[in-house]
Structure 1
């Protein structure tokens, strides 16, 4: 095994898949609940509950199991690429189906329609993303090179995220006003548009022969459930999961509630695409500086610094009055600077955890670890959407009302800003004390090198 260095062109091509995947993720995080409540006129509490039930049933097991399956796959294309090649089209179609539900469904029918379409989408999304993200740890074993690969990938991730966040409502408006579609028909076409983009970007990487694993290890042979739960014996991974779960709830609350926050308490609905573009554009610009900071002070401390900055921006946002145009643009910019660490640090921290596991178990189990991480993030994201839906309902939110009651406006402010700040504050000390520092990782890689050399001599 060698510390392979990838060229810039290879890193760019590898990152392209994250453009499409991030675009559909952005569309879901920012507009899924909004689509259910303000387009399909479904109760926010019912929609949020349906999404959470899906995550706590099928999604609870599929990430770890698909990761286990990915690790054990043997094919002429390797362990990961077959899932990128053959699951991309079903991924696109299932995403389109989620945004093609009929208006006016009875509550029970609406519940199961949301539940089943979300579960179908998540099946193919998990197969693709678990395989794709697991490839990161196999392209190189170098600590800083992984950060570089993650940074290049996150550039496309942010571009895709901006693309999905900034043009979703614009596209829906164009399809509705320029092409004469109904509101529901316009959103269906938006779903198909983003689904096809995701499929194309994933296939570009899946069908490429450029990305070969530098890790040549036998697939995991323990039973699948044992393999999944054995990851919890890895103490740095448990710490990583706790941080990731809390961060997922906090960030999803922000993204889910942002359209409501801008539309109602701030009253700047027309500026929503611009505010999203500014927030995510600044985030993208600070990915490379964030990577340089991580190289100097470590990934955990950089992550903590970033979410500290984001917390200050959210606190200011909580107190902003209606029509505060200049302040909201400043707050969005500062939040973008802070949240850049959310894009860079976790994706370069997890490969280090995989090597810690290899040192102690003798196995390379990227798929299982990425699957477990994906499961925790998706369940906690669904929990955040459910909290958003329940919170809106308790606060007295009225679907398709231009003017919301004061209780709903306060509830939106709390869900968008105050609650995420509390959660982010919990993560900061955990990140400062994160166990795998640059020095700790160097010891792990040296120990692995010595172990492999010894095994080769036997």
Structure 2
């Protein structure tokens, strides 16, 4: 890049996003967040406690879904970049995700009664792999669309803040459903099956409506239509050669090794460490409420302090919150609620600033290669985050087995400290290491202005 003083540049004013566009963009994550919460927090319990599928078999199914992700994520990213239709590159994928999302979520929630054990496991296996595939069809093109809506360094933060708020709102709604599902388990198998099936139909219709509104309300930028990568392996090479993207791949993987703890271990921590299983939804709710409430702060704070410093601060705050959880004992519910709130507030910053920074890096890639491959980039980052979740799930299973965990029984001191180490120690070290690595990131607003000025100059010549 030419050594040009940013202050002397005539940087074109990037397109501003209307609030109607932001609303249309943020709506689908409400439905997706609702579904994702139930699938990640409740489906395992529903499968083992209600459907009576062996935990090891369910773990194998989830593991197989991660192997499939290694194929589906980059494939969807590349094909999304290459798609050419009058609707654009991303919206056809959002439209195509409607039916599989509704179908596979219903399958997860309403398996047919009377199936043999083998057929029931097959049903759930198809449903889980199908659901996560449908989520990839939605999430990768949707994130890519957000990056394409504007080149403005701070408008992007507004876009992804709205997306994060929508996702968390869906998550909070799902916690209410999960609470009633748990109550229904105490009544009868029929009660919980009926409630789960009913909520899946309403959730499916809502999620489909949200996707259709997004497809109808947004328009794509036509100048990106002919800038797709030619070969998928070349796109992968470009991502790895981009030092900023490569750093984020590593940081995101390490972060998610720790961040998966709240999804995997909160129910266990509430029951076996705190002796308060009924408080588990409230611990998660504390995290989500603070995550949602503080989302509007990150755009003005990013303008004042910069995206890097803000995200770095959120990593350190998250490390502090989880690290303090090592002190938890029965009767300390208030302490856990407070620490969960701190972690949620910090996580809200990461959920907003993280994709905004990723979008800036994609602009740099266009400057270097002349291609727009948001799909390939977001697919790589999404796969890394899901892989970290799978690794954490595997480590948790082995660690608890070695420690001597016994379900629904009083645990030994070894098991209790294993829970604490996994729930508090692992996230603490993961976020500290992630923060140290991310402190070397050096693609800031001034560098981005240079890139956009050069890109606008090139676009103007065509």
Q: CA separation in 2, counterparts of 1:111 and 1:383?
A: 23
Deviates more, 1:308-317 or 1:408-417: 408-417
Distance 1:368 1:44, change over 3 A: same
Q: Normalising by structure 1, what TM-score?
A: 0.89
Q: CA separation in 1, counterparts of 2:379 and 2:219?
A: 20
Partner of 1:448 in structure 2? 455
Q: CA separation in 2, counterparts of 1:102 and 1:316?
A: 45
Q: CA separation in 2, counterparts of 1:253 and 1:450?
A: 46
Partner of 2:179 in structure 1? 170
- Which 5+ residue runs of structure 2 have no aligned equivalent? 1-11
Which residue, 28, 42, 46 being the options, matches 2:39? 28
Partner of 2:422 in structure 1? 415
Native 8 Å contact 2:88 2:222 kept in 1 = no
Deviates more, 1:208-217 or 1:311-320: 208-217
Query: What is the CA-CA distance between 1:411 and the residue it aligns to?
Result: 2.4
Partner of 2:207 in structure 1? 198
**Deviation digits for residues 352-402 of structure 1 (CA, Å, limit 9, x no counterpart):** 111010000001111111122222222222222222333333333334x15
**Deviation digits for residues 141-193 of structure 1 (CA, Å, limit 9, x no counterpart):** 111111111112211122112222x2242231455568972445544545455
Q: CA separation in 1, counterparts of 2:431 and 2:201?
A: 35
Q: Normalising by structure 2, what TM-score?
A: 0.89
Partner of 2:367 in structure 1? 359
Distance 1:201 1:407, change over 3 A: farther
Partner of 1:18 in structure 2? 29
**Secondary structure class of the residue paired with 1:181:** helix
**Secondary structure class of the residue paired with 1:267:** coil
**Structure 1 position 427 matched with structure 2 position 441:** no
Distance 1:176 1:43, change over 3 A: closer
Distance 1:178 1:295, change over 3 A: farther
Q: CA separation in 2, counterparts of 1:405 and 1:109?
A: 37
Deviates more, 1:121-130 or 1:221-230: 221-230
Query: What is the CA-CA distance between 1:344 and the residue it aligns to?
Result: 0.8
**Structure 1 position 438 matched with structure 2 position 445:** yes
- Which 5+ residue runs of structure 1 have no aligned equivalent? none
Which residue, 244, 247, 255 being the options, matches 2:252? 244
Native 8 Å contact 2:273 2:329 kept in 1 = yes
Q: CA separation in 2, counterparts of 1:390 and 1:109?
A: 28
Q: CA separation in 2, counterparts of 1:413 and 1:297?
A: 34
**Secondary structure class of the residue paired with 1:434:** coil
Distance 1:110 1:258, change over 3 A: farther
Q: CA separation in 1, counterparts of 2:200 and 2:315?
A: 31
**Secondary structure class of the residue paired with 2:154:** helix
Deviates more, 1:251-260 or 1:27-36: 27-36
**Deviation digits for residues 100-135 of structure 1 (CA, Å, limit 9, x no counterpart):** 458999998787655443222222211111111110
The two structures, once aligned, show a CA RMSD in angstroms of 2.8
**Structure 1 position 230 matched with structure 2 position 241:** no
Native 8 Å contact 1:33 1:256 kept in 2 = no
Partner of 2:402 in structure 1? 394
